Amino acid sequence: MSLISDYLRIIFSTYRDDRFLWFTIFAVLFSTLVYAFLSVPFLIIEKSPLKNLSKYKLDSNQDIVNLAKKSILLWGLNTGILLCFSVIVWPLISLSQINLSPFPGFIQSMFQIILFLIIDDTLFYFYHRLLHLPFLYKKIHRIHHSYHYSSVLATVHFHPIEYLILSLGFFSAPIILGVNVWVFYFWILIRQAIGVLGHCGYSFPWKIQKFIPYHSGNQFHYLHHKIPNRNYGLFFDYWDRIFFTHRLK
């Protein structure tokens, strides 16, 4: 009995760690706020399209009013589930080398961000393909594909199980490899921006894919919603090229 009590005491002591709030509750709330901040401009544009931007709009003829209500409910539900999950698994997270040390510098930070993105993109490609297997697609992933065209609301329109899988992919690299809290929050900002821009429904003229190797731009994921058995990648397209699932038309 004393062994059990000692074990429980050790587990509960991890919640007094200074890192606890920053890498669980605050991180989830920050991620949620970043999504809201980045998505609102696109929601406004969708409601009242601006003539100057209409020429960059990828075609969309899907009525999303009813879907939008469901997306907001799912977003709230999934955020709550993720908050609870992060608190429950904190004793495991606390074993990693995540830290509250000062900002490590721009070059080191960017190197870590690129590494996290490569790892997340690789995980995303393979579990995304698994979710397109008939059984998993029908039971889980089909909810996300309720959006046949791009909308920033699709960024949070997930079955709770898929939302947890996405979040594990999102947070796994920085937690397992260890990261400074400032880099961790910068990674959250970058990752949410990728999700929102990938679903925004616009292909902008500056074409950043010209400057980023193996990145096909916003049209890449837009076409995945139109043609679900193509373009499984998150940000890069090299896995799709390797496995012949790449398409831009």
- Report the domain count for the chain: 1
CA dihedral 209, 212, 216, 221 (to 10 degrees): -110
d(CA 227, CA 52): 28
**pLDDT at residue number 54:** 67
pTM of the model: 0.92
Q: Give residue-wise pLDDT tens across range 123-180.
A: 999 999 999 999 999 999 999 999 887 788 999 999 999 999 999 999 999 999 999 9
Q: Give residue-wise pLDDT tens across range 30-77.
A: 999 999 999 998 887 776 666 566 667 776 656 667 788 899 999 999
* Residue 78, burial from CB neighbour count under 10 angstroms (0-12, 13-18, 19+): buried
**pLDDT at residue number 198:** 86
d(CA 90, CA 23): 9
**pLDDT at residue number 50:** 60
Asked whether residue 43 is domain-assigned, the answer is yes
Indicate if the pLDDT at residue 199 is higher than 60. Answer: yes
Asked whether residue 247 is domain-assigned, the answer is no
Between the alpha carbon of residue 215 and those of residues 54, 98, 234, 235, the distances in Å are 23, 29, 9, 6
| Domain that includes residue 46, residue range | 2-242
Q: Give residue-wise pLDDT tens across range 81-103.
A: 999 999 999 999 999 999 999 99
Asked whether residue 87 is domain-assigned, the answer is yes
Tell me which of 214 and 14 has the higher pLDDT.
14
Asked whether residue 203 is domain-assigned, the answer is yes
Asked whether residue 248 is domain-assigned, the answer is no
Asked whether residue 166 is domain-assigned, the answer is yes
Q: What secondary structure letter does DSSP report for 46?
A: H
Q: Give residue-wise pLDDT tens across range 221-248.
A: 888 988 888 999 998 999 999 999 998 7
